Amino acid sequence: MNHRPARTARRASASPLFTPHTRDRARRRADRQQLHSARNRARKAAPAPAHRRGRTDDQGPMPQYPASGRPGPASARGGKLSLPAHRMTTATVAGAYPFLAEGGLGAEGTYIGRDVHAEASFTFDPFALYGKLDGFTNPNVLLAGVIGMGKSALAKSFALRSVAFGYRIYVPCDPKGEWTAVSAALGGTTIALGPGLPGKLNPLDAPPQPDGVTAEDWASEVRKRRLMLLGSLARTVLGRDLLPMEHTALDVALDCVVTHAAQSGRTPLLGDIAATLNNPGLLDIAGGELSGRLGDAARDLAHAMRRLVHGDLAGMFDAPSTVVFDPRSPMLTIDLSRLGGSGDDTGLVLAMTCASAWMESALADPNGGRRWVVYDEAWRLMRHAGLLERMQSQWKLSRGLGIANLMVIHRLSDLLTAGDAGSRGRALAEGLLADCSTRIVYRQEADQVLAAAGLLGLTSVESQAIAHLNRGRGLWKVAGRSFIVQHLLHPQELALFDTDARMH
Ligand SMILES: Nc1ncnc2c1ncn2[C@@H]1O[C@H](COP(=O)(O)OP(=O)(O)OP(=O)(O)O)[C@@H](O)[C@H]1O
Ligand SMILES: [Mg+2]
C-alpha cells in the first residue's frame, strides 16, 4: 500500500513483479526487462495526465479532494506529516486497517447478491443462522424502503430461491396481486378473493389436530384463535377497543354457535356469530345470570359483524371454504387485489384479518417444515391494532413452528403510526420490530433517516448510507452486524418480478 499520493491517476497497482524462486536469475532478469518495456509502452500510449493538458468535461468527474488529500484539520496531517511509501501484503493490511468490511455470514443459505464492502457473495438463511450468531434470537425479518426500491423483488427472491431448500412460502395477503405470477411459476396455489369471484374462505375453519396434542388442548387452542379473530374484526370495524361486556358477548356467542354447529355436524360461520349477536334474548339466556344484559351490550358488535356478512365483503368469508389447505404445495398466496380500491382500507384490512387467520391456523402444525410467511405491504396494517396483535402472536410462535415472518413496510416511522407513544398499538408495533433479528433498510427519504436511526440504533455512517442507496441495495442489520448488500436478480427473475411493466 502506498501512503504517498499517486502521481498519475492511471496507475492501478504498485505491486512489484512477483517471480517464483524456482526461476533462474537470467529468466528473472528477462521477466523484469519485459515488464519494464511493457510499462514504458503503456505510458507512451496513455494520454498525458490531466494536470498537464487541462481537463475537459467529458473526462469524468474531478476528484473530490486535491492530490494532497483532504484539506483542513480533518486531514489529521497539519501539513507536517510526511511518510515514506510503505508496501505490504493484503494480509498485513487487514491487521493495520481492521473493521473496514464485515467477514460475512458464511456460505450457508440462499444467495442474495453481493456484499458491497467485502466484494463477496452474500447469502442468508434465518434458520441456518439461528443458534450460530450471537444475538440472533429469532428468524423474523423487517424490510423497509421507499416505493420502487426493490423490496418485493427481494422478498420474491427469498421465496423463489428458498424453494430449492425445501422451504414453503405463504403470502397471507397480497394487496397488489403481484405474487400470483411467482406462485404460478413455482407450481403453487393462489386464492383470489373479491366481489364476484368464486373463492371463499371460512376464517373459523378448525385446523387439523397436530400429533401429540390432546383433543381437549386443541379444542381450547382453536377456541382461543377464533375469539382472537372475532375480537380483531370487531375492533377494526368499531375503531376502538372492546368493552368488557362486549368481550363476554363475543365469548358467549362463539360458544353458542360452536355448540349448534357441532350438533348439526357443520363448521361455524361468521354469519352465525352475527345472527347470535343480533339476538339479545338468546345471548342473555346463554350468558346466564352473572353476565347482565348482554343483548344490549352486543348491539355495536352485531353491526360490526354485519359488515362481513351483508356489507362489501358479503359472501367471501361467510361460507364454507372453497379450497382445502394443501401443506405440500410449495407456495400459497391470497390475492386481495380486487379489494380496497375505494381508498377505504377497512374492507381490505378485514379481508386480510380473515385471510391471515385462515392461513395461520393452517400453519399451526409444528411438523410442517420450514416456512416463510411474507406480509408484503404491511404498512397498510399498522394502524389496525387488531391485526398487529395477530401478527405479534405469529411472531412469538415463529421459532416453535419453524416459521420466518417477513414484514415489508415503507419507512420505519410506519411503525409509529400504530398509535401515540405509550399506546397499545405503538407497543405492539415496537414489539414486532424488537422481535425481528434481521432488519433490512432500503433507501429512506432524508426526513426519515433520523427516525430510522433512532429506531434501529444506526451509526452516523449507516444513517448517511441509507439516504443514498440505489435500487436493490440495502443496509442489512443482522443481529447487530452490518452489511451493504446489492441484491442481484437473474434475468428470468427480473422478468417474473417486474412491477414496472405499466410504467414502460
Ligand atoms: N435488485 C434489482 N435489480 C434490478 N432491478 C430490480 C431489483 N430489484 C427490483 N428491481 C426492479 O424494480 C422494480 C420495482 O421493484 P419492486 O416492485 O420490488 O419495488 P418495491 O420496493 O416493492 O415497490 P413498492 O413499494 O411500490 O411495492 C421491479 O420492476 C423490479 O424488477
Ligand atoms: Mg412492493
| Ligand 1 atom closest to residue 146's alpha carbon, by position in its atom list | 25
Q: Work out the pLDDT band at 142, boundaries 50, 70, 90.
A: very high
pLDDT value of position 13: 45
pLDDT in tens, 439-482: 999 999 988 898 888 888 888 889 999 998 999 999 999 988 89
Say yes or no: 376 and 244 in one domain. Answer: no
Question: How much is the average pLDDT of 363-368?
Answer: 75
| Ligand 1 atom closest to residue 494's alpha carbon, by position in its atom list | 31
Say yes or no: 195 and 160 in one domain. Answer: no
Cα–Cα distance, 26 to 19 (Å, whole number): 12
Cell of residue 349, nine digits = 384490512
33 within some domain: no
Q: How far is CA 205 from CA 179, 225, 230, 471, in A?
A: 24, 10, 13, 41
Burial 252-287 (b: 16+ CB within 10 A, else e): bbbebbbeeeeeeeeebbbbbbbbbbbbbebbbebb
- Alpha carbon nearest to ligand 1 atom 11, residue: 150
78 within some domain: no
The 331-335 sheet, strands edge to edge: 120-124, 110-115, 481-487, 473-478, 438-441, 141-144, 403-409, 371-375, 168-174, 331-335, 189-192
Say yes or no: 208 and 319 in one domain. Answer: yes
What is the Å distance from ligand 1's center to 471 Cα? Answer: 7
* Ligand of minimum distance to the alpha carbon of 471: 1
Among 136, 133, 132, 141, CA closest to 159? 141
Cβ–Cβ under 8 Å, residues 442 and 448: no
Q: Determine which of 78-92, 145-159, 213-227 has the lowest per-residue pLDDT on average.
A: 78-92
The residue ranking higher by pLDDT, 60 or 366, is 366
Cβ–Cβ under 8 Å, residues 475 and 126: no
C-beta atoms surrounding 458 within 10 Å: 22
- Alpha carbon nearest to ligand 1 atom 15, residue: 150
What is the Å distance from ligand 2's center to 151 Cα? Answer: 6
pLDDT value of position 78: 61
Q: Work out the pLDDT band at 48, boundaries 50, 70, 90.
A: low
- The amino acid occupying position 107 is A
pLDDT value of position 323: 80
Say yes or no: 478 and 412 in one domain. Answer: yes
The residue ranking higher by pLDDT, 340 or 32, is 32
pTM summary value: 0.75
Cβ–Cβ under 8 Å, residues 172 and 467: no
Q: Work out the pLDDT band at 329, boundaries 50, 70, 90.
A: confident
Q: Work out the pLDDT band at 14, boundaries 50, 70, 90.
A: very low
237 within some domain: yes
| Ligand 1 atom closest to residue 156's alpha carbon, by position in its atom list | 18
What is the Å distance from ligand 1's center to 494 Cα? Answer: 9
The residue ranking higher by pLDDT, 341 or 420, is 420
36 within some domain: no
* Ligand of minimum distance to the alpha carbon of 498: 1
- The amino acid occupying position 203 is P
pLDDT in tens, 270-318: 899 999 988 888 887 777 766 667 777 888 888 888 878 887 778 788 8
Q: Work out the pLDDT band at 244, boundaries 50, 70, 90.
A: confident
Last residue in a domain, options 288, 311, 335 = 335
Cα–Cα distance, 106 to 411 (Å, whole number): 29
Say yes or no: 295 and 374 in one domain. Answer: no
Helix (H, G, I), strand (E, B) or coil at 191: strand
* pLDDT(321) > 80: yes
**Cα within 13 Å of Cα(250), Cβ side:** 24
- The DSSP call for residue 339 is S
| Ligand 1 atom closest to residue 499's alpha carbon, by position in its atom list | 29
The residue ranking higher by pLDDT, 49 or 26, is 26
6 within some domain: no
Which parts of 421-475 fold into alpha helices (H)? Answer: 424-434, 449-456, 460-466
Q: Please, which residues bridge with residue 407 across strands?
A: 142, 375
What is the Å distance from ligand 1's center to 396 Cα? Answer: 30
User: Best of 408, 471, 493, 504 to mutate for ligand 1, by most ligand atoms within 8 A of CB?
Assistant: 471
Among 478, 394, 484, CA closest to 136? 478
Say yes or no: 464 and 408 in one domain. Answer: yes
What CATH number did the domain enclosing 420 receive?
3.40.50.300
pLDDT value of position 475: 94
pLDDT in tens, 67-125: 777 777 666 666 566 778 878 787 777 677 666 667 778 888 899 999 988 888 999 99
Say yes or no: 159 and 193 in one domain. Answer: no
What is the Å distance from ligand 1's center to 154 Cα? Answer: 8
pLDDT value of position 411: 87
**Structural domain tally of the chain?**
2
Share of the chain above pLDDT 90, in %: 23
Cα–Cα distance, 295 to 316 (Å, whole number): 27
- For ligand 1, which residues put their CB under 6 angstroms from it? 145, 147-153, 471-472, 487, 489, 494, 497-500
- Alpha carbon nearest to ligand 1 atom 3, residue: 472
* pLDDT(223) > 80: yes
Helix axes 385-401, 424-434, angle to 10 degrees: 30
pLDDT value of position 77: 62
Say yes or no: 209 and 139 in one domain. Answer: no
- The DSSP call for residue 196 is T
| Ligand 1 atom closest to residue 486's alpha carbon, by position in its atom list | 1
What is the distance in angstroms between the CA of the first residue and the CA of the last residue of the chain? Answer: 47
179 within some domain: no
pLDDT value of position 341: 60
- The amino acid occupying position 488 is L
| Ligand 1 atom closest to residue 472's alpha carbon, by position in its atom list | 1
pLDDT value of position 295: 76
Cell of residue 268, nine digits = 361455524
The residue ranking higher by pLDDT, 285 or 26, is 26
Share of the chain above pLDDT 70, in %: 87
183 within some domain: no
Q: What size, in residues, is the chain? A: 504
* pLDDT(165) > 60: yes
Question: How much is the average pLDDT of 431-442?
Answer: 90
Last residue in a domain, options 335, 356, 387 = 335
19 within some domain: no
Cα–Cα distance, 211 to 151 (Å, whole number): 37
Say yes or no: 314 and 234 in one domain. Answer: yes
Say yes or no: 252 and 310 in one domain. Answer: yes
Q: Work out the pLDDT band at 9, boundaries 50, 70, 90.
A: very low
Say yes or no: 397 and 490 in one domain. Answer: yes
Say yes or no: 218 and 316 in one domain. Answer: yes
Task: Find the domain containing 241 and state its range.
Answer: 189-335
* Ligand of minimum distance to the alpha carbon of 440: 1
* pLDDT(156) > 90: yes
Last residue in a domain, options 316, 335, 354 = 335
pLDDT value of position 51: 53
What is the Å distance from ligand 1's center to 111 Cα? Answer: 18
| Ligand 1 atom closest to residue 113's alpha carbon, by position in its atom list | 1
- Alpha carbon nearest to ligand 1 atom 30, residue: 498
**Cα within 13 Å of Cα(274), Cβ side:** 17
C-beta atoms surrounding 408 within 10 Å: 21
* pLDDT(12) > 60: no
Which parts of 342-402 fold into alpha helices (H)? Answer: 345-362, 385-401
Cα–Cα distance, 431 to 295 (Å, whole number): 36
